A and B are shown apart, each in its own frame.
Chain A
């Protein structure tokens, strides 16, 4: 069942086209990985969906609602029920782990008692309970990653956006966290839109892969088909 739709979306920055006539449909519970080199427009897709920027033309639909169209943001980011893990994680440095997780719950008006319970629960799930009062700067890269993931998931979003979240980690931690993300998605069932330039990461996480180049989709297929596509591409060279 179709849940997200980009319809002929274009976006320019300072006169340069970043996204050109971009169309994509995503079903409920899907794990879409957007794969491509840096500057191809993959982060822009996430930012458009989050509502940080508006498309210059075209429209974006989430659920049955048009959330942005023709240069306008119709539904604000906070009303889209999305979670996001940023490339640099963007953990608020002046708040503790608890403060980082409580911010969204407070904004949504969750009572303090429920808030604390949900924070403890999710931190237990992430094996981060012991760090509830730590500040981000006191955590290791992997621990920060888990807090960012917990912050994105604590409001039980319909869609989780991940912008190269594992790019700064060492390979071992990268592999462990890939598996954790996969496990979480399978148990909760949110739509996962994952951006990376790492093919191996994309093949492991995605159920479908969208390959982008210069603001356009060049491939949109299952993991197997994309693997095949790259195999042929390397044979040709």
Chain B
């Protein structure tokens, strides 16, 4: 009974934090002065600007998804299936941009290609004028978001390649060469995973606010944000957010209908099974050079530029004096958010893994949907729901930020929990059950300790996503409670280049430090 009640409470909590704000937001957009009205939506359909925004949003999302897939899949294959030198280092380096708020990359590219950037100092203003006009607009947005979301495709490709039954490739190797096996067996078998990665990048780009806003490329999330924060026009902001909800919803439905059942043999390999290493032979060195060049161009140089720009004690002193409080707040909120997300994700993951309720799939889909949704949309929804005198204790406090984290990022911890639980034989819990242990005892004494490593990973991932969040926080933070990414973003308007670069470097350190410590701890163990 305690199991059922607990899991029902968890589901209610997810509905309350994630779904209810969206429903309230939608209701408020169709009720004007106490009457049902579709004025905002009419405006949406008849306004030429909205169609332009739609075109921009689609162009940006499609181009980013296409580019990341075309480059990310071969990189994933190279990193997991070949003897490419430094492949582990490359994997880590390519992953870094995903761990940071995307606009940090935009800032670093701006410091490099902008009119007063490094390139301007090296090659003169005429070159910088061209690169700057190229950076501000669609190409610049695609470049920044490509470098940010490339690891999504690389990591998902690697994950799917790891879970492919190696016998399928060996059966091909008996009669054919690696290129043909890759082309006709490996890639078609992981195709659902590749499409899933492309779809995820499409949705994440569609919901991105920071980069298009910084690089002045008008898309729906920017419009939503402007309508809300500049004009406080809740209805118009919601109406601008609705297309994002609809597109996200239909893309996820398409994924469920066409991809979910096409996922072929997924299994984990034992050590003795890990053959399938492609020897690159003579191609090894030039492939490494190409991958290295790409890595240097889209990861190392942008970060290096930030470090170089911030290279002064004064800048760091100023950064800490102007944003030290925000940094502390950010880390505290991220720690609280990650801890709550880990607990929530654990119960939710358990519910989905054990299929405790008939509607487990709906719960899973809801969390995926909320993750894929723009942070701006969730932020507007949260304000719509909690901005009332009765709930001011939430709206006017950092609780609203934590609720935002819980609304958007639960899927990360629940999915990690699910894959962790899948590795624990059900007999472990059953043995405890036979021994007379209640559900909470089984969870706390058997399941959770066995899943500890996965839960730790879930906490880390959640911490990073909470720390880098800007879409939700930017809208919902109460006065005096801004987070570090928000402070950087607001300081961009009048802060010096050195100051902004120093702030970005501090954020990079705050994000990567726990990862480094965790990596070292795991190595020592």
A and B from one complex: yes
Binding site for B on A (CB under 8 A): 13-14, 18, 44, 47, 50-53, 76-78, 80, 82-84, 86-88, 90, 92-95, 103-104, 107-108, 151, 155
B170 at the interface (CB under 8 A from A): yes
A-B contact pairs, 20 of them (CB 8 A): A13-B272, A14-B272, A18-B272, A44-B272, A52-B275, A53-B275, A76-B173, A76-B177, A77-B174, A80-B174, A84-B170, A86-B171, A88-B167, A90-B165, A92-B185, A92-B189, A93-B264, A94-B191, A108-B175, A151-B171
Docked complex Cα distance between A104 and B184 (Å) = 11
Which residues of the partner chain A approach B189 to less than 8 Å between Cβ atoms?
Answer: 92-94
Q: Tell me whether B264 and A155 are in contact (CB under 8 A).
A: no
How many Å lie between the Cα of A90 and that of B176 in the bound state? 15
CA of A168 to CA of B114, assembled, Å: 65
A142 to chain B minimum Cβ distance, whole angstroms, is 19
Q: Is B33 an interface residue (CB 8 A)?
A: no
B172 interfacial by beta-carbon distance below 8 Å = yes
Q: How far is the CB of B352 from chain A (nearest CB, A)?
A: 24
Interface residue? B229 (CB, 8 A): no
- Judge whether A103 and B176 touch: CB under 8 Å: yes
B272 near A84 with CB under 8 A, answer: no
Convert B420-450 into 0s and 1s, putting 1 for each residue whose CB lies closer than 8 angstroms to a CB of A.
Answer: 0000000000000000000000000000000
Q: Does B188 contact A (CB under 8 A)?
A: yes
Q: In whole angstroms, what is the CA distance A83 to B172 when docked?
A: 11
* Residues in B165-200 with C-beta less than 8 Å from chain A: 165, 167-168, 170-177, 180, 184-185, 188-189, 191
The answer to whether B271 and A13 have CB atoms under 8 Å apart is: yes
The answer to whether B272 touches A104 (Cβ under 8 A) is: no
- Tell me, rounded to whole Å, the shortest Cβ–Cβ distance linking A219 to chain B: 25
- A50 pairs with B176, CB closer than 8 A: no
Identify the 4 closest CB pairs spanning chains A and B, nearest first. A104-B175, A90-B167, A107-B176, A93-B264
In the complex, given contacts A93-B168, A104-B174, what are 14 additional A-B residue pairs having Cβ atoms less than 8 angstroms apart? A13-B271, A14-B271, A52-B170, A76-B177, A84-B170, A86-B171, A88-B167, A90-B168, A90-B171, A92-B168, A92-B189, A93-B264, A94-B189, A103-B184
Query: In the complex, A78→B191 CA distance in Å?
Result: 25
Whole-angstrom distance from the CB of B480 to the nearest CB of chain A?
A: 56
- Per the bound structure, the CA–CA distance linking A86 and B172 in Å amounts to 12
Bound-complex Cα distance A44 to B271 (A): 13
Interchain nearest-CB distance for B281 vs A (Å): 12
Q: How far is the CA of A155 from the CA of B172 in the complex (A)?
A: 13
* Inter-subunit contact B271/A84 (CB<8 Å): no
Q: CA A42 – CA B279 in complex, angstroms?
A: 26
Partner of B175, one of A87, A90, A93, A103: A103
Shortest CB distance B449–A (Å): 26
Chain B interface main SS type:
helix
Q: Which residues of the other chain, B, contact A108 by a CB distance below 8 angstroms?
A: 175
Check if B37 is an interface residue, CB within 8 A of chain A. no
Whether A78 pairs with B176 at a CB distance below 8 angstroms is yes
**A-chain residues with CB within 8 Å of residue B173 when the two chains form the complex:** 51-52, 76-78
> Which A residues lie within 8 Å of B188 (CB)?
94-95
Closest chain-A Cβ to B103's Cβ sits at a distance in Å of 40
Contacts of A93 in B (CB 8 A): 168, 189, 264-265
A89 — nearest CB in chain B belongs to which residue? Answer: B167
- Counting chain A CB atoms within 10 Å of each CB, which of B165, B170, B171, B173 scores highest? B171
Closest to A80 in B: B174
Residue numbers in B under 8 Å from A18 (CB-CB): 272
Q: Is the CB of B264 within 8 A of A84?
A: no
Q: Which residues of B contact A77 (CB under 8 A)?
A: 170, 173-174
B175 lies within 8 A of A107 (CB): yes
Task: Specify which chain A residues have a CB less than 8 angstroms from the CB of B264 in the assembled complex.
Answer: 93-94
Known: A52-B275, A53-B275, A88-B165. A103 touches B174 (CB 8 A): no
Given the complex, which residues of A lie within 8 Å of B170, measured CB to CB?
50, 52, 77, 84, 86, 90
Tell me whether B167 and A82 are in contact (CB under 8 A): no
Give complex CA distance A87, B165 in Å: 12
Q: For the complex, what is the distance from the CA of A84 to the CA of B165, rounded to whole Å?
A: 16
Residue from the list B175, B180, B185, B265 in contact with A155, Cβ < 8 A: B175
**B residues in contact with A50, CB < 8 Å:** 170, 174
Least Cβ–Cβ distance between B186 and chain A, in angstroms: 10
The interface residues of chain A lying within 8 Å CB-to-CB of B172 are 92, 103
A150 to B167, CA, bound (A): 17
Structural contact, A84 and B184, CB atoms closer than 8 A: no
Please, which residues of chain B bring their CB within 8 A of the CB of A44? Answer: 272
A80 — which chain B residues lie within 8 A by C-beta?
174
Smallest CB separation, A170 vs chain B (Å): 22
Bound Cα distance from A13 to B165, whole angstroms: 19
Q: Given the complex of chains A and B, what is the CA–CA distance between A78 and B275 in angstroms? A: 16
Q: How far is the CB of B268 from chain A (nearest CB, A)?
A: 14
Q: Which residue of B lies closest to A39 (CB)?
A: B272
B265 and A84 within 8 A (CB): no
Q: Which residue of A lies closest to B174 (CB)?
A: A77
Give the distance to chain B from A36, nearest Cβ to Cβ, in Å. 16
Q: Which of A78, A88, A151 has the most CB of B within 10 A?
A: A78
A51 cross-chain contacts in B, Cβ below 8 A: 173
The minimal Cβ–Cβ distance linking A62 to chain B, given in whole angstroms, is: 13
Tell me the complex Cα distance, A82–B272, Å.
22
Q: Which residues of B contact A87 (CB under 8 A)?
A: 167
